[in-house]
C-alpha cells in the first residue's frame, strides 16, 4: 500500500488546493471577505504562487528534476525542463504578488496563469493520446487540475468583479 507522503507527491496540486480552500474559509470567517475574492486570492497565492515557485525549483534542481522528468515521462536532463522551471517560477512570483497587490494585477495573473495551465493540460492530453504516456505527473489529477483550475479561476474572477 502506498504511504501518505507518496499520495501527496503524486497529487500535489490537489493537496495545495485543499490548503488554499482551508485558508480561504478561515479568511471568510475571520475577515468576512467575499467568497469569490477569498477563494481566488488563496488559489493564486498557494496553487499558482507557492506551488509554482516550488515547481520551478524542483524542475531546475538536478536530482529532483530527474525524478520529476521520469514521473512526467520525459527524458532526463532535457534543457526544456529548465524552461518549464522558469515559467513555473515566474508565474509563482506573480501568484504571490497578486495576493498582496490584488485589483488588476490579480486579473492579469488569473489570465496568464489560466492560459499557461490550460495549454499545459492540453499538452498532457495530447501526450496521453499520441504517446500513451500515462506517467503519474502526465496523467491523472494533474490533467484535471491543469484543465479545470483555469475555468474555476475565471469564474471566481467574474463573480468577484461583478460583486458576488
- DSSP letters, 91-154, are HHHHHHHHHHH-HHHHHHHHHHHHHHHHHHHHHHHHHHHHH----TTTSTHHHHHHHHHHHHHH
Give me the pLDDT at residue 43, please. Answer: 98
What range does the domain containing 154 cover? 4-161
Residue stretches of the chain with pLDDT short of 50: none
Q: Which whole-number Å values give the CA distances from 24 to 2, 110, 130, 154, 157, in the listed order?
A: 30, 17, 39, 17, 15
On whether the CB atoms of residues 51 and 13 are closer than 8 A, the answer is yes
Q: CA–CA separation, 7 vs 141, rounded Å? A: 11
Q: How many structural domains does the chain have?
A: 1
pLDDT (0 to 100) of residue 2:
61
Q: How is residue 75 annotated by DSSP?
A: P
Residues 51 and 57: their CA atoms lie apart, in Å, by: 10
Q: Grid coordinates standing for 6?
A: 507518496
User: What is the per-residue pLDDT for 143?
Assistant: 95
Give 57-103 pLDDT, tens digit per residue: 999 998 899 999 998 998 888 888 999 999 999 999 999 999 999 99
Residue 78 has what pLDDT? 86
Cell, residue 86: 522558469
Amino acid at each position: 500500500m502506498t504511504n501518505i507522503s507518496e499520495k501527496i507527491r503524486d497529487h500535489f496540486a490537489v493537496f495545495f488546493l485543499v490548503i488554499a480552500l482551508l485558508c480561504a474559509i478561515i479568511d471568510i470567517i475571520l475577515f468576512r471577505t467575499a467568497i469569490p475574492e477569498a477563494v481566488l486570492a488563496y488559489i493564486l497565492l498557494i496553487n499558482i504562487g507557492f506551488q509554482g515557485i516550488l515547481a520551478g525549483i524542483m524542475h531546475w534542481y538536478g536530482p529532483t528534476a530527474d525524478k520529476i522528468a521520469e514521473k512526467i515521462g520525459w527524458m532526463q536532463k532535457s534543457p526544456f525542463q529548465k524552461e518549464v522551471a522558469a515559467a513555473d517560477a515566474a508565474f509563482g512570483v506573480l501568484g504571490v504578488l497578486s495576493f498582496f497587490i490584488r485589483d488588476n494585477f490579480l486579473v492579469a495573473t488569473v489570465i496568464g496563469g489560466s492560459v499557461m495551465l490550460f495549454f499545459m493540460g492540453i499538452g498532457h492530453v495530447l501526450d496521453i493520446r499520441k504517446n500513451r504516456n500515462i506517467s503519474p505527473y502526465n496523467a491523472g489529477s494533474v490533467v484535471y487540475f491543469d484543465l479545470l483550475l483555469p475555468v474555476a479561476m475565471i469564474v471566481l474572477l467574474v463573480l468577484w468583479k461583478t460583486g458576488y
